[in-house]
Chain A
Amino acid sequence: MRQLTLAVLSALLMLACSQAQAPLSASDVVVTRSVPGMPMSAGYFKLTNNSGQAINISHVTSPQFASVQMHETIITDEVARMVSLEMLILQPGETVRFEPGGKHLMLMQPANDIDSVTLDFFAGESLLLSVNTDFDR
């Protein structure tokens, strides 16, 4: 009986661990298909810090693109400027949106014949999150 109880508890513990939220999660991930002839796409998503401490995202990479940069389009007095985001800081519980006309990923120089894109989010050398998505259009 005791062994059975332990087995059940172990199973429940494993289930709980498997369902625990990762410190960083992404949703609504979209990578736009490049306009024909153009070497870049844009990446949009919602990024949430599920942990109890701040997360600093230093850079994003993708095996399907030669270069990925975090940018923000800032429109002031009807003039659009694109600025680089050197670091993205998410406070505990915070969700940041990357969306058209705002923060976005600029993905440069795609490999040939890609159907899906992987985005890897890093804090320094630590890989925090890896997500896959199809091209949007």
Chain B
Amino acid sequence: MNFRKAFIVFASLTAITAGAWFSFQLASPPPAPRTATVLPATSELPEFSLLDQSGQVIGRNVFEGQWDLLFFGFTQCPDICPTTLQVLADAQRQLANAGQDPLPRIVLVSVDPERDTPDVIGQYVGHFGNDSLGITGPMDELRKLTNSLGIFFEKSKPDEDNYSVAHSAVVLLIDPDGRFHSLFGSPHIAENFVHDLPIIMSAG
């Protein structure tokens, strides 16, 4: 009799615990990005004709087939551009060490095509990862891409040879369908990308 009672108590406690655990699992929201803004609906990129680092003509389908982290900057930028690209490279390395597969590709789109030839941008992005992509090309084609994504850039001191370029500091995430999916605002910290990217990429 005592054994029967003990069994009933044990079974009841097990059932209650299991029920509570399943309820908690159902009630718990899925993990959410910490800093990234996920667009309510992804948006299509416009048609454009630009150049990659090997001088090949590329269009919007260059963004199809992988997740891409897009940053708009220029190679003669001493501070924010190399700092941001280094953050992305650090995040990519940390994600690789954590077993994340696939890894997002790092893409630099030059807002200074006058000085950033394919050779120049290729050498530059190669410093931040062998599979990184550098994009440059004619200004009117570049404007098609930047305008559609809300990216601002403007040459400062345009009368001097040693000019700078003001530019948007956000990092955009393009999904494997080649659509604008999410964005990361500055300041950029590798840990934020390491936290948010697996969540966003697994949710699609």
Contacts and interface: CB of A to CB of B under 8 A. Distances in A.
B186 interface: yes
B187 interface: yes
Contacts of A73: 79-80
B123 A37 contact: yes
A38 B185 CA distance: 26
Nearest to A39: B76
Contacts of A75: 80, 169, 186-187
A106 B167 CA distance: 18
B75 A38 contact: yes
B167 A35 contact: no
A79 B185 CA distance: 10
B78, B127, B152 — most chain A CB neighbours (10 Å): B78
A127 to B, nearest CB: 24
B152 A79 contact: yes
Contacts of B77: 82
B82 interface: yes
A101 B78 CA distance: 10
Nearest to B185: A78
Contacts of A40: 76, 78
B76, B168, B169 — most chain A CB neighbours (10 Å): B169
A130 interface: no
A107 to B, nearest CB: 8
B127 A80 contact: no
A35 B75 contact: yes
Nearest to B81: A80
A101 B84 CA distance: 9
B54 interface: no
18 contacts: A35-B75, A35-B127, A36-B126, A36-B127, A41-B78, A42-B78, A75-B169, A75-B186, A78-B170, A79-B152, A79-B169, A80-B167, A82-B78, A100-B80, A104-B79, A106-B78, A106-B79, A107-B78
Interface of B: 75-80, 82-83, 120, 123-124, 126-127, 152, 156, 162, 164, 166-170, 185-187
Interface of A: 32, 35-42, 71, 73, 75, 78-82, 100-101, 104, 106-108
List 10 tightest A-B contacts by C-beta distance, closest first.
A81-B166, A100-B83, A37-B123, A80-B169, A106-B78, A42-B78, A82-B164, A80-B80, A40-B78, A35-B127
